[in-house]
Amino acid sequence: MGREQWKKIWVGSAGNMVEWFDWFVYATFAVYFADAFFPEGNETANLMNTMGIFAVGFFMRPVGGWLLGRIGDRRGRKAALTLTVTLMSASAVLIAIAPTYDVAGYGGVAVLMVARLLQGLSVGGEYAASATYLTEASAPEKRGFASSFQYVSMTAGQLVGLGLQILLQRNMSDAALHSWGWRIPFVVGALGAGIVFYLRRSMLETEVYAESGAAEQQDRGTLKVLWQHRREAFLVMALTMGGTVAYYTYTTYLTKFLSKSAGMEKSTASLVSFCALFVFMCVQPLAGMLSDRIGRRPLLITFAVGSTFLTVPIMTMLKHADTFWPALGLALLALLVITGYTSINACVKAELFPTGIRALGVGLSYAVANALFGGTAEYVALWFKNAGIESGFYWYVAGCAAVSLVVYLTMRETRDIDLNRVAAVRAGQKASPSGATSVTPAS
């Protein structure tokens, strides 16, 4: 992998890290500001209301997937990536200055809602643009490795958020964190987004997009063309279902689950999440490289089998793991299983679509599935908890993984597909029915 390709991956990943830092700190700091925007009452109910707003942000992601995916296909990946980080910076500022219930009544909730809608719009487009950019920016035999940096950067953003939370927990009183300390990470996120905006303005467009002829196609990035690839779009939604539910269960929800259900101290729960996520981040490129050698389907199937059969026992044991080491071991096991999905899902989805519709195809399809399943995961978990049947959520996560397992078993391998359909057709290669181009399988 050459120096220019590494530069593209670095700039794309740095922006993705800031995007997901801003997205995740809302979830990780929710335990501190949930009571600030609602009247005093049931603590679990207030947290549910706050996470309900978190879920609303997910329902803007399909709009972001459509709008910014369209921009990515019509004006280039760089244009879409620059716009996403601008929107994220604005939303972080709004949350940082949002007035509390005591100051403005439900006016603070309105500000919080607007900010989450902007974040949803931004992240919906960020996933599509970064998945497409990282996949296209790499050599064909390195796509799994390169695209794994999407979840490396996503996890790095969450680690920075958790690290900041641990730092604030150890240096501020609990009362101060509930009063005003929770605003600090959103200020940090806004500043980070400003830096990344500067970096992305000078980033290079991918050669696949620049040389494919997609920029000259009049109907590129349209729903009309996406409809011609509806099979691939539905495939993306189905293969996303199990992965996104499992990912949010063991990342953003884990800290709250350990503190609220297992009875662990908040600071200890945050440390468990931090350590588990650090290992998880480090293994992503290794799994990506493995997929470049053996294909994508074996990793996806491994994830789905593991999540289907291990989720219930892992979550059951986690509920009784009220000390650091048992909780860390169980969290690591769960995250290593999920790596089969996270490390390669970006390139798998990008490999299903031709260049002129790739960003929209990936973005809109993924965002719809993420809104339905990923964005609601924590709310569903808290609903089961509030209803007194918390174990029902464990079976829900396992069931979603089982549905995706059926998809993985029946889908085709995507590792050896040529990303640049136009260039391939001009070279005399045979186009597959999906609109991507078939090439001779690698040995």
- Listing DSSP states for 297-362 in one string gives HHHHHHHHHHHHHHHHHHHHHHHT--SHHHHHHHHHHHHHHHHHHHTTHHHHHHHTS-GGGHHHHH
- Residue 437 pairs in a beta bridge with 418, 431
Stronger pLDDT, 199 or 214, i.e. the higher one: 199
Cα dihedral: 56, 303, 332, 51 (round 10): 10
Q: Could you tell me if residue 354 is left (phi over 0), alpha (psi between -120 and 50 degrees) or otherwise beta?
A: beta
Ranking 240-249, 264-273, 284-293, 296-305 by mean pLDDT, the lowest is: 264-273
Cα dihedral: 138, 124, 14, 359 (round 10): 20
pLDDT value of residue 422: 37
Helix boundaries (H) for 202-296? 207-212, 223-228, 230-250, 254-260, 266-294
Stronger pLDDT, 120 or 421, i.e. the higher one: 120
Q: How far apart are CA 189 and CA 93, in angstroms?
A: 8
| For helices 324-342 and 297-319, angle between their N-to-C axes, nearest 10 degrees | 160
Contact at 8 Å (CB) between 331 and 273? yes
pLDDT value of residue 215: 56
Cα dihedral: 372, 148, 16, 166 (round 10): 90
Cα dist from 238 to 127, 155, 355, 368, 417, whole Å: 17, 23, 22, 10, 20
pLDDT for residue 428 is more than 70? no
* Number of CB atoms found within 10 A of residue 10's CB: 14
pTM, full prediction: 0.84
Stronger pLDDT, 335 or 88, i.e. the higher one: 335
Stronger pLDDT, 175 or 30, i.e. the higher one: 175
pLDDT value of residue 51: 67
pLDDT value of residue 369: 92
pLDDT for residue 351 is more than 80? yes
Q: How far apart are CA 371 and CA 377, in angstroms?
A: 9
Classify 173 as helix, strand or coil.
coil
pLDDT value of residue 33: 82
pLDDT value of residue 421: 55
Mean pLDDT of the chain: 86
pLDDT value of residue 12: 74
Stretch 142-169: mean pLDDT, rounded?
Answer: 90
- The confidence band for 128, taking pLDDT boundaries of 50, 70 and 90, is confident
Fill in the DSSP letter of residue 181.
G
Residue 299 corresponds to which amino acid? L
pLDDT value of residue 31: 77
pLDDT single digits (tens) 15-34: 778 877 887 788 778 778 87
- The confidence band for 110, taking pLDDT boundaries of 50, 70 and 90, is confident
Identify the burial level of 381 via C-beta atoms within 10 angstroms of its C-beta, where 0-12 means exposed, 13-18 middle and 19 or more buried. buried
- The confidence band for 37, taking pLDDT boundaries of 50, 70 and 90, is confident
- Residue 418 pairs in a beta bridge with 437
Residue 411 corresponds to which amino acid? M
Residue 431 corresponds to which amino acid? A
Stretch 184-194: mean pLDDT, rounded?
Answer: 92
Stronger pLDDT, 288 or 33, i.e. the higher one: 288
